[in-house]
Structure 1
Amino acid sequence: MPKVVVTGSRFPNDPTLNPIGATVITAEEIRNAGASNVNEAIRKVGGVFGRQNATGTQDFSLDLRGFGATSDQNMVVLVDGVRLSDNEQSIALLSTIPVELVERIEIVRGGSSVLYGDGATGGTIQVITKRGGQDGTHGTVTAEVGSYGQREVRGSVSKSWDGFTLDANLGRQRADNYRDNNGVKQENFGGGLQWASSQGRIGMRIDSSRQEYRLAGALDTLQQFNDNPRQTLHPNDFGSVDVDRYTLFAERKLGAFELAAELSHREKTLKASYGAGAFQSASEYNSRGTQFSPRVRHLSAFGDLKNELVAGLDWADWSRNTNSDFSNNKANQHSKAAYVRDEIKLGNARVAAGVRREIFHKDADDTQAFTKIKYKQAQAVNAWDLQGSYGLMPGFDVFAKTGQSYRVANVDDNAQTAVPSQVLQPQISHDLEFGSSIGNANHKLTVKWFQHRLHNEIFFDPTAGAFGSNVNLDPTKRQGVEVEASTRLTSAITAKANFQHVSATFTEGANAGKEMVLVPRNIASARLNWISGGQTADVGVQWVDSQRYGGDFSNSCDAKIPSFTTVDARYAIRISSWELALAGSNLTGKNYFTNAYGACRNGIYPDAGRQLKFTARYDF
């Protein structure tokens, strides 16, 4: 089967119809940067800002366009078209995807709800895995050892014959991590079988992940951080998460039509224990979700004019049972959506327009919560977009996008509202973007201006009620500039740089003009890569501006989370089928933090100090 990629239309596509203004990370770039997981590749190569999560796992919280504490709920993460983002306050577990299986990653910033629905205001991250290869058996074995007890072994193998491809992968990681009581254990398994021809493909995948982690928790004061950022005030806290995913997929060409569908089922069990002695509190969450996404595309051409018409349906069922000392919540969400999108390409011009309608049915019943929760409600939302690009001259394009995207409150948002059992209203964003791109594969510069005007933004307000509540905020706005540049300095040296400036503020209400919390105003990163013969070297620098503390809703704190600069580097040499590499992150040993949910100088989650890692990889 010819090599294809999944692009903005939710179908394998040719490069002339790639998403407008997308950032693409190739498998070669991932390997040269030494990223050992997909989340790290998105941060290092894609220039996406990430915050260390509370569990100490490799799944950093990623932020597109400055959504701060709710960044994970304001973007959609997909693997081969299957949604990883879930109906709860959790991070998409990208660490469960073997990095060796990734063909490329597409990052589309900005509203994308027409194709991807709930939560796609900040954008989408699409991971495309490899789809078979030459007949024979191929694979890799990778071993890593590093600072703070880091040990990891990964292996993947695939066998192709007569259109069939069978693949399997295993991974096992152990780490003590930088902070006390923050060790992590993770095991991944995945396997798939597919048959492909020039007319389509059909197959299935099974992916499982097991994570166990200790929870270091927050530090209460800035003085504690300055005295010893590695300490914990919560030596008895721990948790785990088990995830199993089962996916069936099919694609088929029928003349000018193409049909595709995925049926995916996911089961997740999350356990946690907090406190000490008689005050230890245990909880268990068991959730399951099923997605079905059939769609059709029609391609036509009349001389220089190409037309792509895509229509599809998305069905999803999700449920979660909570068993804890403070809750016995039983929650369900059912959604169904229909969308249609048409794109015309004529010469140097492209114009695309689309609409989506989605209906959600939510219910929950919790008789054990501090305030009893019981609701049953339906909500309907709409999305639309209009976008276009024009090539003014070879290598110089301008583009524009406008539209409406949305997010609905998840089960955790609705579990702690100012009025118990009152479901929050859907969040609506009016999106606008202008940009231009100049250059080619060797030298390219892309500049974008964007704006998101949000109504009923869903956010945790620490000033609401006695203990804070999730609320629909007064109108807010994200507005800024993004710059992405790459250049080939010599035949052996390439450089990439990313810059984001974003202003996140209230536009109306009592807080009009005040800044949103946990949003750096400026983020800049640069990478330099050298390849010569069997050797590669990669150096990266990232600078993150200061940002408001997570609880400083009133902007009254006289301090901010400090800005910081980090440096990482990697050197690798390839000898026959072997690759040996030495990598380091935060090489200057900077003490810094990106997460602090307190109101002022408190609630601090320190990031890791200097780390070194040695990797040996064997390809066969």
Structure 2
Amino acid sequence: MKFAVVPRSAPAFKPLALACALSLSVLAANAAAQESLPSIVVTGARFPAQTAAAPIGATVITAEDIRRAGATDVNAAIRKVGGVYGRQSLDASPDFALDLRGFGSNSAQNLVILVDGVRLNENELSNAVLSSIPVDTVERIEIQRGGSSVLYGEGATGGVINIITRRAGASGTHGSLFAEAGRFDAHDLRGSLSHGAGPWSLDVAVADRGTDNYRKNSQFKQKTASGGVQYSHGAGRAGLRFERSEQDARFPGSLTEAQFLANPRQTLTPDDFGTLDTDRYTAFVEHRIGAVELAAELSRREREVEANYFYMMGGAKVASRVRYDASQTQFSPRLRHTAALGGMRNELVAGLDLVRWERQTSSDFSRGDAEQDAKAVYLRNEILWNAPHNARLAIGGRHERFTKDYSDPLAFPPVLNEHRKQSINAWSLEGSIDVLPQVTVFAKAGRSYRIANVDENSLRSGPEVLAPQTSRDLELGVSAGSAARQISARLFRHRLKDEIFYDPTIGWGANTNLDPTRRQGVEVEGQHALTQDLRLNAKWQRVDAEFTGGPNAGREMVLVPKNVVTLRAAWTPAGGHSADIGAQWVDSQRYGSDFSNSCGTRIPSYTTLDARYAYRVGGWEAAVSGLNLADRQYYSNAFGCRSGIYPSDGRQLKLSLRYAF
């Protein structure tokens, strides 16, 4: 709820070799005739960086990519354009559970999501609320796959998604108005305005969206507002931002397989509902003094969550109410020093991450109040050789300490003033080299980690808090080509110790540290400009997730599709026309409770299609778009064998009108 060793062979290695051979033989042969990569400013080592110093293996989604695909929120953009697998939300919201590298039902806890460098993750079992970020304010989205705990701390084993909003407006006044309506009484109204005058710039955005959704009792409504002011000068910039989001959602609940086949739109919980209100404030500053760059963010996030559930007892309807009030404060100062050393460039980054999280709970079954303080220091040094092979070598380390306090007098047995301390280290070693013109080989190795959150520790398998989860990470890859024709392939492996996971086989079910597990596989991304007007791109991820020790050794992990394939085509001819069409195929996967791999069936594979056509005249743009165009009945979330099923949405058709000035 958002509101809450017998190793097998490694079949993934063979496709990687094939992909590497393809990229080397085909693209390197044509490298001299291809264009050079565009210069895109991304976030390298938590500071702005040009393409040459971009995070190794990163994927960048631009604002134009988002608009062309018709993504109405950040979560949809990451799934549609970035090819990231997303699992249907449980509360009818558009905040799907994003999964990098096959972490199943705990994918949200193995992925760090940032907005302008500030963590959006909560210290609880919930997904990051990306729908609260006004999509019109997003400049780009950066996806870094693989272990990244040195720079981003706990939970970054699967990777990092960094959402960058527009911080500086062009001179003058600019803005846009957007209106969309569609099936299931869906509506989306948005407006944004920015003004720049000399060193000052400001912006504001508001949105009102809602839908009855596909299933009964799954209505969703959301209102958001955001704004910011920034002052820029030659040596840096400083600014303030705020965001406010109010959500009202109905909870359709789960179905059995028989109920899904009979009517996937039905609900067995017609009265359940909840609300989520979020406020976020951020102050940032950046300043350069000679060869030293200084930067810091200070942020405060407050959340009020309420959920209401109804059930029958003794022939009467009984209500159960849960309320959380949570807050998080983060301060992240850092510095970067750059120096030329002969034919080399050295970059040293050092920083602190100080985070305090608090939550008060009020419900019929819990009064669990919790606090967590996290203090981290990290250091990363990178050397770049520009000639003749544009080589890079980086090494980094991080130390983080956690202090946890928890009390719940209603727990069984009661928990009073529990106080625990934990500390953990991470390291990374990565490098790349251009072995041929426009052909880069790269490698990454390291150790990442995750700490159990308050929800996991409050329902644990033993008297002590759960041990930290650690992962030994390894990645090898190759990238070849240019903006017109490019392919990259990565082979990855995460060997996990004490993975934190909910085990349904322990009593009535409890969170525990699992026996050793492993994620390994291949990621292949490619793009090709067939003509000046037509561009194709494709992404394929294969993950083998399994136990490597204990009584379950050799068995598959649950809720992890082996293969996810995403294909997209973008057509942008002259004359104001544009079209974008995409397809995603998701392989079958184990049901959420099937630790023993004994369930006689699996969650079926499925394919979804989406498309958008738009016509632009001056500042006006009209568009028609559709999701799940084949009206496929499918599901990606199911927590029992043939039960606990949360059906995914049916066909959605929408019309929109946009005016930019």
Q: TM-score range by the shorter chain?
A: over 0.9
Partner of 1:441: 483
Shift of 1:130: 1.5
Post-superposition Cα deviations, 1:405-429, rounded to whole Å, max 9, x if no partner, equal: 0000000010101125x20000000
1:102 Cα deviation from its structure 2 partner: 1.2
Alignment-derived partner of residue 372 in structure 1:
414
- Residue 419 in 1 paired to residue 462 in 2? yes
1:485 aligned to 2:550? no
User: Do 1:373 and 1:415's aligned partners in 2 also have CA atoms closer than 8 Å?
Assistant: no
Cα deviations by residue, 1:283-313 (Å, 9 ceiling, x for unpaired): 1000011000000100112343111100000
Query: How many residue pairs were aligned?
Result: 614
User: How much has 1:272 moved relative to structure 2?
Assistant: 0.2
- The reply on whether 1:587 has 2:629 as its aligned counterpart is yes
Q: Report what 2:28 is aligned to.
A: none
TM-score between both structures, scaled by the size of structure 1? 0.98
1:341-373 Cα shifts (integer Å, max 9, x gaps): 001100210001100000000010000124323
CA distance in 1, matches of 2:458, 2:656: 44
Q: Matches of 1:136 and 1:448 in 2, distance apart?
A: 44
| 1:107 counterpart = 2:143 | yes
Give the alignment of 1:70-469 within 5 angstroms.
Answer: 70-219=106-255, 221-276=256-311, 278-347=317-386, 348-374=390-416, 375-420=418-463, 422-465=464-507, 467-469=508-510
After superposition, the CA RMSD in angstroms is 1.0
Residue 611 of structure 1, aligned match among 631, 646, 652:
652
Query: Equivalents in 1 of 2:205, 2:167: separation in Å?
Result: 15
CA contact (8 A) 2:303 2:327 kept: yes
* Residue pair 2:291, 2:339 contacting (<8 A) in 1 also: yes
The match for 2:103 is: 67
- Conserved? CA contact 1:4–1:12, under 8 Å: no
Identity %: 55
Secondary structure, counterpart of 1:7 in structure 2: strand
1:578-613 Cα deviation digits (max 9, x unpaired): 110000010001000000011x10000000011101
Instruction: State whether structure 2 residue 511 is matched by structure 1 residue 470.
Output: yes
SS at match of 2:643: coil
The correspondence of residues 424-573 of structure 1 with structure 2, limited to 5 A, is 424-465=466-507, 467-533=508-574, 534-573=576-615
* One-letter amino acid of the counterpart of residue 86, structure 1: E
Q: Please name the residue that 1:602 is paired with.
A: 643
State the distance in 2 between where 1:262 and 1:360 align.
Answer: 20
- What amino acid maps onto 1:323 in structure 2? S
Specify the code of the residue in structure 1 equivalent to 2:269: H
Q: 1:14 aligns with which of 44, 50, 57?
A: 50
SS at match of 1:72: helix
After superposition, what is the alpha-carbon deviation per residue over 1:457-509, rounded to whole angstroms, capped at 9, x for unaligned? 000000112x1000000000000000000010000000010001100000000
Structure 2 segments unaligned to the other structure (5+ residues): 1-38
Describe the SS at the equivalent of 1:483: strand
Q: Secondary structure at the match of 1:90?
A: coil
Task: Please tell me whether the aligned partners of residues 114 and 339 of structure 1 are also in contact (alpha carbons under 8 angstroms).
Answer: yes
Cα distance change on mapping 1:82 and 1:5 into 2, 3 Å: farther
Which deviates the most, 335-344 or 374-383?
374-383
**Aligned residue among 13, 17, 23 for 2:59:** 23
State the distance in 2 between where 1:103 and 1:174 align: 24
Greater CA drift, 165-174 or 3-12: 3-12
The CA distance in 1 between the partners of 2:290 and 2:50, in whole Å, is: 17
Deviates more, 1:270-279 or 1:608-617: 270-279
The one-letter amino acid paired with 1:26 is T
Q: Tell whether the 8 Å contact from 2:448 to 2:471 is kept in structure 1 after alignment.
A: yes
2:70 pairs with 8, 31, 34, which one?
A: 34
Would the aligned equivalents of 1:311 and 1:341 in 2 still touch at CA under 8 Å?
yes
Cα distance in 1 for partners of 2:415, 2:492 equals 39
Q: Deviation per CA, 1:399-449, whole angstroms, max 9, x where unpaired?
A: 0000000000000010101125x2000000000000000100110000000
Q: CA deviation at 1:540?
A: 0.4
Assess if the C-alpha contact under 8 Å between 2:40 and 2:51 holds in 1. no
Distance in 1 of aligned mates of 2:415 and 2:522: 42
How much does 1:328 deviate?
A: 0.4
CA contact (8 A) 1:225 1:606 kept: yes
> For the Cα contact (< 8 Å) 2:460–2:511, is it kept in 1?
yes
Paired residue type of 1:338: V
Q: How far, CA to CA, are the matches of 1:302 and 1:429 in structure 2?
A: 35
Letter in 1 for 2:546: T
Cα offset, 1:216, TM superposition: 0.2
SS at match of 1:424: coil
The letter for the 1-side match of 2:522 is V
Paired residue type of 2:325: N
Q: Distance in 1 between matches of 2:342 and 2:186?
A: 58
Q: Using the TM superposition, give the Cα deviation of residue 181 of structure 1 relative to its aligned residue in structure 2, in angstroms.
A: 0.2
What is the CA distance between 1:6 and its match in structure 2?
4.6
User: Conserved in 1, the CA contact under 8 Å of 2:639 and 2:645?
Assistant: yes
Measure the CA separation in 1 of the matches of 2:482 and 2:342: 26
Match for residue 5 of structure 2? none
Kindly state the Cα deviation for residue 103 of structure 1 after the two structures are TM-superposed. 1.2
Counterpart CA distance in 1 for 2:50 and 2:571 is 30
Give the Å deviation of 1:4. 8.0
